[in-house]
Structure formats: C-alpha cells, structure tokens
Amino acid sequence: MKLLITRLRIPRPAEHKGRPSHRRHKVLTVLLGTALTLGVCLAAESIPRRKAVPASVPAQEGKALPVICYSQVLTDGEKGGKRTVSADMLRQDLAWLADHRCETVSCSDVIGFARGLEQLSEKPVLLLFDGSWETILTAVLPLLEEQSAKAAAVICGSDADLYSAQVPKKEEDARLSWNEIRLLDQSPLVELVSGSYDLRQEKGSSGRRGVSMLRKEGFETYRAFLADDLLTLQNRMNEELSHDASVFCYPFGEKSEESEAVLKDLGFLMTLSEGEGIARISDKNSLFGIPFTVREPEQTAEEFFGQIGLEEPLA
C-alpha cells in the first residue's frame, strides 16, 4: 500500500496566506490511502462470494423418446402368449396417448430430428409392432386409422415368403405375406422395419440366438454371416416393394458392438432393441441401440404409461 501511495502524483494546491501547504497534502494522502485500503479489502471479500455461487446444471441434451413395443395384438387377447394384448387394450392405449397430448411419430420423423431436418413435439412416442404378425394389418392398422396414429411394423423375410404360399392360418400364429406387407406399406401411418430375413429363432441349429455372435467366431466371419441375411431381406423388399428398410429391430435384444458395426456399414440409420430406459435423441449417433419397452397385459394404460413417465412432460 505504501508503494502505491508514494507513486501517486497528487497535485499541490495553492497555498493560503499565512498557512503552509504541507498540512493539506498530508490530509489528502491519508484520505486517499484509506480509500484504497477499503477498496482492496472489499475486492478481496467479493472473490469467495463469487466462487460460492453454485454452477447451473446443464439441461439434458436431446429429446426424450419412449418406444413402446407390442409383441402381438389379437381380437381375443387370451389366445396368445404372456406378452399378447387384446385389440381393445390397444384401443385404450391409443386413446390414453391422445388424451395426454402424446404424439406418435415415425422412425423417419426421429431420423429427421436427429439430422436437424425437422422438429419433434413436446411428448413424442414411437409405437413398434414386432413379430411380422398378420394382425398388424387386420387388427392394428384399423385402430391406428381411428386415432391417426403412426407406428413402425417389423417384418421377417422368410415368414413373408412362407405365408405368401398357400398355408393354413390361425389368427394367433399367422404371419404377414408379401401381399399383406404391400397393403401395410401403402398406409401413410405405418413404416416398415427390418427384423432380419431368417434370424428370429430363439436358438438356431448352430446355437445362435437371433443375430448374436458365436463364441470363437471371428468378426469377418460374423460380418459375412449377418450381412448375407440382412441384404437378403433388403433385396426381397426391393423386389416386392421397390424400396428397402433403413431401420433394424433386434430379435431377442441380441445387440452387440459387432452387430452395430455391421449394420452401420450396411447403411442402416437406426436400430431398436429391447432394453430399459428411454432414449435421448440428439444426433445421428444417438439413433443406434434405442431401447424399447414391451407392453404386457397386466397393467392398465394409466398404470403402464405412468410407470414410464408419460404423465409428465418429457424434456
């Protein structure tokens, strides 16, 4: 402080008659020194106060996207397995979503958002109908049309080839034929998703479950195996529908780093797999491994959607 004061050049005021000027200079020096001391003290005290202010918590990136998967929908829900819901339950679900201002979106909507090409609503929801069941056309589509709701439908190529022939059918086990897939594809409410050509076995002859990679199987061998199946379905779709799929749904949730790498190499833009939680869509990388929740019949619409957080706005 002394150093600062001695370097200040304080102009000497004009002297009064009969009184020396050094006294006035001394008073000014003391006052200035006091002011500088107070200023330094106040500045020092302000530093810890600024540090004590808590940093603001950054908002979560991206848009929350709940994905609800229906394994099978039957007119009589009692005929199916434990994950089968009735058509009436689906109707109640769609009504609940509409009443709570949830907007059903397509996979293309989600991809467009991730690429910065379009916006999603405050509460988007993706509905997924798995299994390539014939009831997606006969029971689900009419209900989607009632509510103008969008959805994604998983198809399986080998099932479509089989059921395009004359085979016995029952509502609870019939799969979509290519003619039925073509009718489904004509609806602006439904988008087709690849479910593999012939990898929907719980356990194949080789011991492979879905698209899982076998032990001691090298990546190049696995890549050739998986690419062969997926491209077979892509080619069949192009033959039957004049387009293929940009989205893949994993059978049995058998997703891995290796399978994701193959799918990206093949040009798929989005993958879905059974899992916990809700995805946050922010960029194109966030489109891979999106988890979906399977809708089971034990809960009401209120209980199920409340459990996954749809009663509150999803930031």
Structure-token match 């009504």, residue found = 95
Q: Return the SS3 of 304.
A: helix
Give which of 218, 59, 249 is closest to 154, Cα–Cα: 249
Helix (H, G, I), strand (E, B) or coil at 125: strand
What is the per-residue pLDDT for 4?
Answer: 38
- Look-up of token digits 């749904």: 249
In this structure, how many other beta carbons lie within 10 angstroms of the beta carbon of residue 236? 19
For every one of its 315 residues, what pLDDT tens digit does the chain have, with 9 covering 90 and above?
Answer: 333 333 333 343 343 333 334 434 433 343 444 444 444 344 444 434 333 333 333 445 889 999 999 999 998 877 777 889 999 999 999 999 999 999 999 999 999 999 999 999 999 999 999 999 999 999 999 999 999 999 999 999 999 999 999 898 888 899 999 999 999 999 999 999 999 999 988 776 778 899 999 988 999 999 999 999 999 999 999 999 999 999 999 998 889 999 999 999 999 999 999 998 999 999 999 999 999 999 999 999 999 999 988 876 665
What's the rounded Cα separation, in Å, for the pair 284 and 276? 20
Tell the residue number behind the tokens 């399986």, with chain if given.
156
Three-state DSSP class for residue 247: strand
**pLDDT for position 207:** 81
This prediction has a pTM of: 0.79
Amino acid found at 75: T
For residue 266, what are the CA distances in angstroms to 60, 157, 223, 233? 31, 17, 10, 12
